[in-house]
Structure formats: C-alpha cells, structure tokens
Structure 1
Amino acid sequence: MLKPLGDRVVVTFDDVEEKSVGGFVLAGASHEATKAAQVVAVGQGVRTLNGDLVAPSVAVGDKVLVESGAGIEVKDGDEKVSIIRESDIVAIVE
C-alpha cells in the first residue's frame, strides 16, 4: 500500500463507460471537467510557516470529485491508482 506524503492523496477513479444503444463505447468521458474518485490513502497534511500541522479535509473512504488531468497514475500491485494533491479535489460527495 502506498503512503502519500504531505498534502497528497491516493485515489482510484471510477471507470464510467458510456455506451450507445448498439453497445458501442463512447469516448465522451475524456473531456469532462471533473472525475469521480474514491480516496484510498491520505497524507498527514502540510505544515505552516509556524510549524503547525494542517490536517487534510478528506479521509479514507470518501468519494470525491477531482479535476480532470490532475495527478500522476501509478501501479500499486495489480491496481492502478492516482496520486493527487488535496488542492485538486473539487468536492466531497455525500
């Protein structure tokens, strides 16, 4: 399992395939502004100039909306995950 540092968050993106009536996969999801993701791991937060620790706003298990194209994709075992900054998270889905 990956342990992110600082304000980084490890997420798995929800694969959403849009299909037409004939069963063809449409390539429309690649230009969306945001993507839905599940938080897998969270860093400890960032330190201010005073040295105070600011805890992250998200927790493991949260469903979030992430800006499209944010972060880097890595492979953790057999699973593909993305490492993003907390600032790339637009909203928590409740």
Structure 2
Amino acid sequence: MRNKLELEALIGEPLTSFAYPYGDHDATSKQLAQDLGYPFAVATNSGPLLMHQDPYQIRRIAIFPRTDTFGLWRKVKGNYLFRKMNKK
C-alpha cells in the first residue's frame, strides 16, 4: 500500500490499474489488487476473452514495432484470441 500511495503522491493522480509483474498472478494477488483499490488489473496471456468477465485478469495482446494496421486489427478482433487459445 505504501508504494501505491508514494506513486500517487509523486504523480499527483490516483493509480487506476495494476499490471502483474511478468503477468504472474494467482487468487491472492488478484484479491490484493482489489483490496488496494485498483478498479482493474491486467495479465498477459491469461484471462477470459471478455474483459468485463474478470476485471482483475484482463488479457493483454502484444503489439510490436513490426505490427502493422492490419495486424493490430486482427489482434483486437475476437477471432485472434480464439485462434490463439485453440493452438494450445
């Protein structure tokens, strides 16, 4: 909690989200993010396809310098995540 308060004091704004380091999280870390007052938290390659289903495990997609407009469009469409999940 102290780190969150120090960061908020430094930037003069409330922190509104939390990113799990390296995307690593479990039920305890999700609960901690919620207890600290974050309205949502982001993971990496885990979480439901729809962000409102679990606001403490929002899935992120990787965008690289080589990602073009079409590549970005494909990634934000639901079929990208569906195809990625079905490869496992």
Scaled by the length of structure 1, the TM-score of the pair is: 0.21
Higher relative contact order (CA 8 A, sep 6+): 1
More strand by share: 1
Scaled by the length of structure 2, the TM-score of the pair is: 0.22
